[in-house]
Amino acid sequence: MRKIFTLTFLLLILIFSTNFAQTFDGEWSVDYVTSDSPDSANSIGQRVISVTTIEENSFVALVNRGSANAYYLVGFRNAGINQGRLGTYPYPASDFQTKWIDFFSQEFVFDANDLASKGNFIYVANNEAPTHSVLVFEFKEDSIYSYPQRFSLGEYIWGIDIDGSGRVYVTKTGDSLNAGSVVVLDNPDNAPAWSAGGNTGTILTEFTLPDIGQPRGITVNNEGTIIYVSNYDENKVYCFVGDPINGYSLYDGFNFTVDSEFQTSGALISVGPFGLQLMPDKNLLFVTHDANFSGGDAYEYGRIYIANPNTGEVLDTVNIAEWNFSVEGQYDNHNPENKASGYASNYAVDFDEKYNLYSSCWRGWTAEKWVYSGELPTIEILITSIEKSSSKIPDNFSLEQNYPNPFNPSTTIKFNLNKAQNISLSIYDINGQLITDLIKSSDFSAGSYKITFDASNLSSGTYIYRLRTQNNVIAKKMTLLK
């Protein structure tokens, strides 16, 4: 039976610093694309749906083409236009599948749509029925080898990511009547450890998505407290906050909004989000956005949006179709020497330690490396907890004195809402300069709440905290003594 955890008393709110840079002052360009030629020892040989990075110029590409029964992994080390591929692959590949095997346990890679990596270990969201397993492989110097761990979920899965503690996050797609879900699996090495049989391990939590439609991508922050999930059919990216033990809640303050249709020179096409990836340290959310396995007119579209992870605001765009046209004069031409995959259909994205971008090109049969000419901005994300201490409706709207006061370095702020309303809770210095928004324009139901404010990064002094609604503002002073 499915385990579903919800947050009843703990509501996690994203807060963010007001002094981060959001300026993109450089340009994205292709450094190289892998070959797509039957005469090359570097070609992948079929349609590439996903890519995951090990380190700079070392990555793994995932092939998925049902009409050719081609589902396999291709490793690259010290990659370039005409170098780096590990192993030998047919071109074009048909009836060719990577086999995961451990003595008497085996499973073929089949209809897999996404990859993730941690260190040298590769995780594949696989769909050979009836197991539908997460398969583990190891990336070594000369090739990719099976690793004796897998976890069978028994339902169709799509996106996959891993947090800093080794927990594995997977999307189940659902169907036309039932919304998909997110499953969080414990670190494969934690007892009971994953086995080759696929029947051991722990599901930490599972929660259902808000809408019916196919969840294509998932990404998670290092701590496992923020999850982003794309829904292609609804053209949405959801943000969930919580943790793998207590569960997750939808964060309504995040709103990724881009058009779901694009007028090409010949047709109006539907587009939506595929793969997601949160760039480590920089905290930039990358969203691959494209047509649904379409050709022809769809080659004129193909983008990777870069969004603010706190709000969903689009900050920059890697326009893949525009790049192809600018270097080739057409959208549907593959030319590695000119650094063009052509054909758009870039459904996945990942990064190396230098913040270079790697993307898959499904109809181009290639993987690409993109570089940025400037310095990427960094967005600071902080997490704090807000506890709903009582659901009893208070008599009045009020803000209480913080406690302890004076404090060092943290203090608790309590407030009461006598009706559901949109609120902001902000911290200012004594001169009225905004320090941070603890809560920014978020909807809260009636009740009593308390929030912990950590002032570790502030200097001693008097600060003002202010609670604001559409019709009311209350402010109080608090003192930090270090």
pLDDT surpasses 80 at 4: no
| Any domain includes 223 | yes
Question: Are 154 and 219 part of one and the same domain?
Answer: yes
What would the mean pLDDT of 67-81 be, rounded to a whole number?
97
What would the mean pLDDT of 224-238 be, rounded to a whole number?
94
Question: Are 406 and 361 part of one and the same domain?
Answer: no
pTM for this one?
Answer: 0.81
- Confidence band of 258 (pLDDT split at 50, 70, 90): very high
Among candidate residues 345, 372, 399, the one where a domain is terminated: 372
Question: Are 255 and 397 part of one and the same domain?
Answer: no
What domain count does the chain have? 2
Question: Are 355 and 424 part of one and the same domain?
Answer: no
Lowest-pLDDT choice from 52-66, 162-176, 243-257, 263-277: 243-257
Q: Is 326 helix (H, G, I), strand (E, B) or coil?
A: helix
Q: Which residues constitute the domain of residue 56?
A: 21-372
Q: Is 66 helix (H, G, I), strand (E, B) or coil?
A: helix
Question: Are 422 and 327 part of one and the same domain?
Answer: no
**Residues in Cβ contact with 146 at an 8 Å cutoff, skipping those fewer than 6 apart:** 99, 100, 101, 102, 135, 136, 137, 138
Question: Are 351 and 414 part of one and the same domain?
Answer: no
Rounded to whole angstroms, the Cα distance separating 289 from 258 reads: 9
Question: Are 28 and 158 part of one and the same domain?
Answer: yes
Which position has the token pair 């050719």?
Answer: 68
Q: What is the pLDDT of residues 368-401, one digit of tens each?
A: 999 999 999 998 765 455 667 777 899 999 999 9
Question: Are 345 and 473 part of one and the same domain?
Answer: no
Query: What pLDDT score does 272 carry?
Result: 98
Neighbouring C-alpha atoms within 13 Å toward the C-beta of 411: 23
| Any domain includes 316 | yes
DSSP state of 324: H
- What are the φ/ψ torsions at residue 400 (nearest 5 degrees)? -95, 165
**Residues in Cβ contact with 224 at an 8 Å cutoff, skipping those fewer than 6 apart:** 163, 164, 165, 167, 169, 184, 243, 244
Rounded to whole angstroms, the Cα distance separating 135 from 149 reads: 7
Percent of the chain with pLDDT over 90: 77
Instruction: Give start and end residues of each alpha helix (H) in 215-333.
Output: 320-328
Question: Are 433 and 363 part of one and the same domain?
Answer: no
- Confidence band of 7 (pLDDT split at 50, 70, 90): very low
CATH number for the domain harbouring residue 253: 2.120.10.30
| Any domain includes 13 | no
- Quote the mean pLDDT of the chain: 91
Residue 406, preceding bond cis, omega within 30 degrees? Answer: yes
The closest alpha carbon to 424, from 478, 480, 471, belongs to: 471
Rounded to whole angstroms, the Cα distance separating 224 from 241 reads: 9
Among candidate residues 320, 337, 372, the one where a domain is terminated: 372
**Residues in Cβ contact with 19 at an 8 Å cutoff, skipping those fewer than 6 apart:** none
| Any domain includes 10 | no
Rounded to whole angstroms, the Cα distance separating 169 from 479 reads: 42
| Any domain includes 379 | no
CATH number for the domain harbouring residue 415: 2.60.40.1930
Question: Are 249 and 150 part of one and the same domain?
Answer: yes
**Residues in Cβ contact with 71 at an 8 Å cutoff, skipping those fewer than 6 apart:** 63, 64, 65, 96, 97, 98, 108, 109, 110, 111, 112
Reading phi first (left if > 0) and then psi (alpha if -120 to 50, else beta), residue 455 is in alpha
- Confidence band of 159 (pLDDT split at 50, 70, 90): very high
Which whole-number Å values give the CA distances from 34 to 45, 200, 457, in the listed order?
Answer: 10, 38, 46
Question: Are 349 and 253 part of one and the same domain?
Answer: yes
| Any domain includes 266 | yes
Rounded to whole angstroms, the Cα distance separating 53 from 99 reads: 21
Question: Are 355 and 400 part of one and the same domain?
Answer: no
Query: What pLDDT score does 150 carry?
Result: 97
pLDDT surpasses 60 at 14: no
pLDDT surpasses 90 at 20: no
| Any domain includes 12 | no
| Any domain includes 62 | yes
Which whole-number Å values give the CA distances from 245 to 5, 171, 206, 285, in the listed order?
Answer: 8, 18, 10, 24
